[in-house]
């Protein structure tokens, strides 16, 4: 029995020990390179004022201090709107925008991927081409639409643009195409409706892609790309308020560094929780019927 296990173990090894070491070394180098921006932000937030403006600039902090975070808490405590209000706004916008975007994207991607109707290809191409337009390009038309609809200074101005983002339909459609047609046909023979096939078959099979979309949407919404539609202080989100505190001139350069770290925490935390699913998404992307 032991000999059989050894043979199976040997068959599973596709690289030599030296190849494994090279692969680990390469991945370590790339991992450190990708972590450099976050490490640099932390280093900046721990620097005293004289080190922030030192020339030539240093990557690592020489005399770490938490003064920048203390100044940030002092600045937050001095706002006339309670910080809990900003946090509540962020939670409301984040949950509704993320959940709504995923639901709408799944409902739009399924017929494009698994149904044949007139205009299917044209709609798919239109969604693909819309990915070429960045947020600054669409900001002006969005503002005109929101102003004409009377949605300025409302939650709708923060939520609706996120619901219409094309990245969700594009991503989920490419994954739903890989679902075997025979599986859906069997469900249809058993009496399942299109709605049931979507939520009971398609969505569970593209769960890794949905978690990937969750990260993308959370990052976009949390960074507050649509906060230009809000002028009321009571409706602003927490990242917007923090960025306002940081944009107060050179005197708050340390506070700006601390704000950068705080704003990055939520997307990074969600990514860490969903990391295994992201890896599964990359592995599953090449599997087809």
Q: 178-223 pLDDT, tens per residue?
A: 888 888 888 888 888 888 888 888 888 888 888 888 888 888 888 7
Per-residue pLDDT at 104: 92
Give 246 or 102, the one with higher predicted confidence: 102
Predicted confidence (pLDDT) per residue in 106-157, tens digit? 998 999 988 888 888 898 888 888 888 877 788 888 888 888 888 888 888 8
Domains and CATH numbers, the chain: 2-73 (no CATH), 81-239+261-284 (1.10.3720.10)
Give 15 or 108, the one with higher predicted confidence: 108
- Three-class HEC string of the chain: CHHHHHHHHHHHCCCCHHHHHHHHHHHHHHHHHHHHHHHHHHHHHCCCHHHHCCCCCCCCCCCCCCHHHHHHHHHHHCCCCCHHHHHHHHHHHHHHHHHHHHHHHHHHHHHHHHCCCCCHHHHHHHHHHHCCCCHHHHHHHHHHHHHHCCCCCCHHHHHHHHHCCHHHHHHHHHHHCCCCHHHHHHHHHCCCCHHHHHHHHHHHHCHHHHHHHHHHHHHHHHCCCCHHHCCCHHHCCHHHHHHHHHCCCHHHHHHHHHHHHHHHHHHHHHHHHCHHHHHHHHHHCCCCC
pTM reported for the whole predicted model: 0.76
> Is the pLDDT assigned to residue 171 strictly greater than 50?
yes
Predicted confidence (pLDDT) per residue in 55-83, tens digit? 787 788 888 888 888 888 877 776 777 87
For all residues of the chain together, what is the average pLDDT?
A: 80
User: How does residue 87 score in pLDDT terms, banded at 50, 70 and 90?
Assistant: confident
User: How does residue 101 score in pLDDT terms, banded at 50, 70 and 90?
Assistant: very high
Per-residue pLDDT at 187: 87
Per-residue pLDDT at 206: 85
């Amino acid at each position: 029995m032991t000999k059989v296990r050894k043979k199976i173990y040997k068959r599973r090894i596709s690289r030599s020990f030296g190849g494994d070491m090279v692969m680990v070394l390469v991945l370590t180098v790339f991992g450190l390179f990708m972590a450099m921006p976050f490490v640099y932000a932390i280093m900046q937030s721990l620097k005293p004022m004289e080190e922030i403006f030192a020339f030539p600039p240093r990557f690592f902090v020489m005399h770490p201090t938490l003064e920048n975070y203390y100044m940030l808490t002092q600045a937050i405590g001095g706002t006339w709107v309670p910080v809990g209000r900003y946090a509540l706004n962020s939670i409301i916008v984040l949950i509704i925008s993320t959940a709504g975007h995923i639901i709408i994207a799944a409902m739009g991607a399924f017929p494009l991927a698994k149904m044949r109707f007139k205009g299917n290809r044209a709609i798919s191409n239109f969604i693909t081409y819309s990915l070429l337009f960045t947020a600054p390009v669409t900001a002006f038309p969005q503002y005109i639409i929101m102003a004409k609809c009377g949605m300025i200074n409302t939650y709708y101005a923060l939520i609706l643009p996120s619901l219409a983002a094309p990245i969700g339909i594009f991503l989920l459609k490419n994954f739903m195409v890989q679902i075997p047609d025979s599986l859906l046909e069997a469900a249809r023979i058993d009496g399942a409706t299109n709605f049931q096939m979507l939520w009971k078959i398609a969505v569970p099979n593209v769960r890794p892609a949905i978690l990937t979309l969750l990260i993308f949407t959370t990052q976009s919404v949390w960074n507050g790309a649509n906060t230009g539609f809000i002028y009321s202080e009571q409706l602003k989100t927490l990242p917007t308020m923090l960025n306002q505190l940081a944009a107060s001139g050179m005197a708050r350069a340390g506070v700006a560094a601390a704000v950068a770290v705080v704003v990055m925490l939520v997307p990074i935390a969600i990514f860490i929780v969903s990391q295994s699913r992201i890896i599964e998404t990359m592995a599953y992307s090449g599997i087809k019927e």
